[in-house]
Chains A and B, each alone.
Chain A
Amino acid sequence: MGVGQEGDVIAAALDVFVDSLQFIVDERDLLLEKTLEHIVLSGAALLVSIAIAVPLGLALGHLHRGSFVAVNVANVGRALPTLVVIAVGFIFLGIGFTTVMLALVVLAVPPILTNAYVAVDEVDRDAVEAARGMGMTPSQVLWRVELPLALPLLFVGIRTAAVFVVATATIAAIAGGSGLGEILVNQAAYDVEGLVGAAICVSLLALAADAALGVLQRSLTPAGLKEELPAFEPDVRPVV
Chain B
Amino acid sequence: MAEPVIPDFGEASDCVAENRLFCTDWVRENWDPVLQPALVEHIKLTVIAVGLGFVLSLVAALLAHRFRHVERPVAFLSAVIYTIPSLALFQLLVPVTGLTVTTVEIALVGYTLLILFRNNLAGLRSTPPEVLEAARGMGLTSNQTLWRVELPLALPAIVAGLRIAVVSTIALATVAAFVVSEGLGGPILGALRLDFRTEIIAAGALAVGLAILADALLVLAQRAVTPWASARRVT
Contacts and interface: CB of A to CB of B under 8 A. Distances in A.
A234 B76 contact: yes
B188 A87 contact: yes
Nearest to B206: A84
Interface string B78-115: 11101111111101101110000000000000000011
A239 to B, nearest CB: 6
Contact of B87 (A78, A184, A207): A184
Given A84-B174, A238-B157, A239-B118, A199 B75 contact: no
Interface stretch (B48-56, B141-149, B165-173): B165-173
Contact of B234 (A80, A198, A236, A240): A240
B79 A185 contact: no
Indicate the size class of the contact surface on chain A: 35 or more
Interface stretch (A22-30, A50-58, A129-137, A164-172): A164-172
A82 B95 contact: no
29 contacts: A9-B96, A78-B167, A79-B208, A79-B215, A81-B185, A82-B171, A87-B188, A91-B200, A163-B82, A163-B83, A166-B85, A167-B87, A170-B85, A171-B178, A184-B87, A184-B88, A192-B95, A196-B91, A198-B88, A199-B85, A199-B92, A202-B87, A203-B83, A206-B83, A207-B80, A234-B78, A235-B79, A238-B122, A239-B119
List the 10 closest pairs (A to B, CB-CB), nearest first.
Answer: A167-B85, A234-B79, A238-B122, A199-B88, A16-B95, A84-B204, A79-B211, A81-B171, A81-B174, A83-B174
Interface of B: 21, 75-76, 78-80, 82-89, 91-92, 94-96, 114-115, 118-119, 122-123, 157, 160-161, 164, 167-168, 170-175, 177-178, 185, 188-189, 191-193, 195, 197, 200-201, 203-204, 207-208, 211-212, 215, 234-235
Interface of A: 9-10, 12-13, 16-17, 75, 78-84, 87-88, 90-91, 163, 166-168, 170-171, 174-175, 181, 184-185, 192, 195-196, 198-200, 202-203, 206-207, 210, 232, 234-240
